[in-house]
Chain A
């Protein structure tokens, strides 16, 4: 697939801090690319460099193999992590206003349908719930029928239902052939939506690839979880790869051979009533690569 948007050796400093440090990646047309990482990793700065909102200190950004210019804004749909609309504006008026900024627009009826805005089209945008507001902001990002859609932590602060609703919308947009750049610190979200991901920390990309490929490359074991109370004595005395998750009162065991691990547990008179088995996740990958927990 052709690369639609290419970032090469991007650098951005804020005073003495290097927020983005030699970052390179490309967005293939029609795919969803995820930038993951904890708060402060440089995700938002990177996405704002690509959007043209923040000036780059070094590196190059190409759109359709040409340096990005002001015309790029006509092809870009942007949903910021935190933004606001003018007061006393209804949902319909907001869509109309943003639509009038562009030479090419998506019909409002289509936006309303895509983002399920019909129920509150004439409501003051300040009176929307968190999920409704994010749907409106997504609709505004789509108002110019963009080729590239930037979504900066679109589900942060939403309840699970609203988050899943938004995921469905993003999938619908991707199905329309649009190219999406998504930042998130929710690994589940990235796994659900992204064709390719890059994990960032301290302004650098640590690793990059499709979620399944990355997991396969880094892990060949599964995780067995047991309640801490089910293991008499010190769990670390067991001849297994043990991780204690004290806050959750849970013991995690990494295993390449489930049968052998279970036999070991039974041999040590450990009850398997609370046993859960799960595959390795992107969160495990992040922890393995950075050696620290996600900073929400």
Chain B
């Protein structure tokens, strides 16, 4: 590895990207438009479904039991969600992601004192009791508890996905497509005739795109935050780590696609086949909870899923390193696998 040659290739690629003002502008403006558009569309329009968490040692069994004995748990238009861990569920109440939470074993319920939905649900809980219920067991025997916390809007949930999606397009098309173009036009052949090695060339492409992606993502993050003021409960350093690993994994995937192809049309097709399922099945726009288990398993094959899961855990739930260790490990393995395979398959011509 010659640092001099590596830096020369890196400099040339950076210069090419920065001087291509149309591409640079598009990379910056596109995600801002998306974020602003969704903020406008969704920030003032809460979902009309009440969500109530039900915690117990065996929440599903317990829920079935209380549905028979407590009228409230049979109320229409309220979705009762069994939860197996209390602490994360409480965080969701704090974030207004759950409107109410029951501990069926300890006979507590929680609402967020700032949540209109929580307030209404509590009223429904009291109103739903039949006289017999009330006589035997006021409010179903549950003791009121309260939490407080800022609401998580749809746009707060959306932001990590949009940032990751923009990274994906920039990585796949900005590296994969460019290398195919280089190969087709003869740029790679000319470099092959020099002492530059494939490893030096590929590393320069990864680093060049990586810092551009991180710079643009940081800029978009800061810019969008000015307009939207979205939630960030976790560590910025950890978020940077997730985005860095995520970007490397996506760039490596782009390199793998471009390892041998010399047709821009074919490369474009393959990159679309990869990016579109990722865009829809990695949880950018909607949560995969409740989808078919096969879809959820398939989504785990995509690096974008792990980037989004980890960044949402940091930004919305304030997760620490332990909380996202699985995603970090998967992204590291994916990066190494894609990069090694891409380097092994790489052809200059």
Residues on A close to B: CB < 8 A? 51, 53, 70, 73-74, 76, 78, 80, 82-89, 93, 96-98, 100-102, 140
Contact = CB atoms under 8 A, between A and B. Distances in A.
Nearest to A85: B187
B193 A51 contact: yes
Nearest to B195: A73
Among the interface residues A86, A88, A97, A102, which one has the most CB atoms of the partner chain B within 10 A? A86
B196 A86 contact: no
A86 B182 contact: yes
Interface string B1-43: 0001101110111011001100000000000000000000000
B13 to A, nearest CB: 7
A76 B192 CA distance: 12
The secondary-structure label for the interface of chain A is loop
Contacts of B196: 101
B126 interface: no
A100 B16 contact: no
B16 A101 contact: no
A73 B348 CA distance: 15
B190 A89 contact: no
The 9 closest A-B pairs by CB, nearest first: A88-B19, A84-B185, A100-B8, A83-B186, A78-B193, A101-B194, A84-B186, A83-B190, A84-B187
A82 B195 contact: no
B144 interface: no
B150 interface: no
Given A97-B8, A97-B12, A80 B187 contact: no
A93 B187 CA distance: 15
A53 B15 contact: no
Contacts of A101: 4-5, 8, 194-196
A53 B192 contact: yes
B189 interface: yes
Interface of B: 4-5, 7-9, 11-13, 15-16, 19-20, 182, 185-187, 189-190, 192-196, 349
A98 B187 CA distance: 12
B72 to A, nearest CB: 66
9 contacts: A51-B193, A53-B193, A80-B189, A87-B16, A87-B20, A89-B16, A101-B4, A101-B8, A101-B196
Contacts of A96: 8
Nearest to A54: B349
Given A82-B186, A83-B189, A102 B195 contact: yes
A140 B189 CA distance: 14
B209 to A, nearest CB: 14
A88 B15 CA distance: 7
B16 A86 contact: yes
Contacts of B11: 97
Contacts of A97: 8-9, 11-12
Contacts of B187: 83-86
A88 B21 CA distance: 11
B194 A102 contact: yes
B5 A53 contact: no
B265 to A, nearest CB: 18
Contacts of B193: 51, 53, 73, 76, 78, 80
A83 B191 CA distance: 10
Contacts of A93: 12, 15
A156 B67 CA distance: 85
A70 B19 CA distance: 34
A88 B20 contact: yes
Given A80-B193, A87-B19, A100-B8, 12 more contacts: A53-B349, A70-B195, A83-B186, A83-B189, A84-B186, A84-B187, A84-B190, A85-B187, A88-B16, A98-B194, A101-B4, A101-B194
A86 B178 CA distance: 10
A125 to B, nearest CB: 11
B3 to A, nearest CB: 10
A93 B15 CA distance: 10
A70 B192 CA distance: 11
A165 B111 CA distance: 85
A77 to B, nearest CB: 9
Nearest to A88: B19
A263 B224 CA distance: 95
Contacts of A98: 194
